[in-house]
Amino acid sequence: AQKVTQAQTEISVVEKEDVTLDCVYETRDTTYYLFWYKQPPSGELVFLIRRNSFDEQNEISGRYSWNFQKSTSSFNFTITASQVVDSAVYFCALSAGITGTASKLTFGTGTRLQVTL
Amino acid sequence: DTGVSQDPRHKITKRGQNVTFRCDPISEHNRLYWYRQTLGQGPEFLTYFQNEAQLEKSRLLSDRFSAERPKGSFSTLEIQRTEQGDSAMYLCASSLGRGQETQYFGPGTRLLVL
């Protein structure tokens, strides 16, 4: 069985602060994918990033960066110089199984980020 | 490219009524997924289709729920004899259909059962 834990329920920061959202996952599969999605108040889940279990390279995309560490089963997400538009609920998700087969996403409970002026 | 679309965006119904939701995936996406999201929780998987074939169903999908994708394009999710516990956001996602690829989500249908 797969499990994703996002221990931070809600985080509040002031604009321009850096913020890190934590994600810890559990799976017995050796092949898996990790995702981050953003859910703004409108409700639509917006894809941010996907990493596979064989690629532990950290990634930076603009103000966003991701730190994938298999040793601690973590896939953390950092927003640098946060902006009010970053306010949303952020979900970490896991997809595991044999490569080539479709796999459902297992989501964490989400972290609500509130960025204020 | 047009994204995943869902209709209606909101639905209010009385307990015991039947409701049907529609999802139109991104064109050329072979896989289509349904998820349910309740307040304060992450989405939970309900079922998925590869073209017109329904290949997996969650235990969350009771007998009152049925999903179809008759021509391998759009999909419908029907809930019969709705209960207050069915109140949730129903999300549809689609993907290309080549292994563990990214799922792209629609705006969801928010259901309220009175």
Verify whether the Cβ–Cβ distance A107 to B108 is below 8 Å: no
| Listed residue (A76, A105, A96) closest to A6, CA to CA | A76
Which of A57-71, B34-48, B66-80 comes out lowest in average pLDDT?
A: A57-71
- Please report, for residues A2, A15, A20, A92, the alpha-carbon distance to residue A114 in angstroms, rounded to integers and kept in the order given: 28, 9, 13, 17
Output the pLDDT for position A42: 87
More confident residue, A23 or B102: A23
Output the pLDDT for position B16: 97
Verify whether the Cβ–Cβ distance B105 to A102 is below 8 Å: no
- 8-state DSSP, B105: E
Verify whether the Cβ–Cβ distance A97 to B100 is below 8 Å: yes
Report the C-alpha gap between B109 and B114 in whole angstroms.
16
Across the interface, of B42, B107, B110, the residue whose CB is closest to A91 is B42
Q: What ranges make up the beta strands (E) of chain A?
A: 3-5, 10-14, 19-21, 24-26, 32-39, 46-52, 59-61, 64-69, 74-79, 88-96, 106-107, 111-116
Which of A31-40, A51-60, B57-66 comes out lowest in average pLDDT?
A: A51-60
Give the percent of chain B with pLDDT over 90. 82
Whether B99 shows a pLDDT value over 70: the answer reads: no
Report the C-alpha gap between B4 and B28 in whole angstroms.
11
Output the pLDDT for position B78: 97
Average pLDDT over residues B14-21: 98
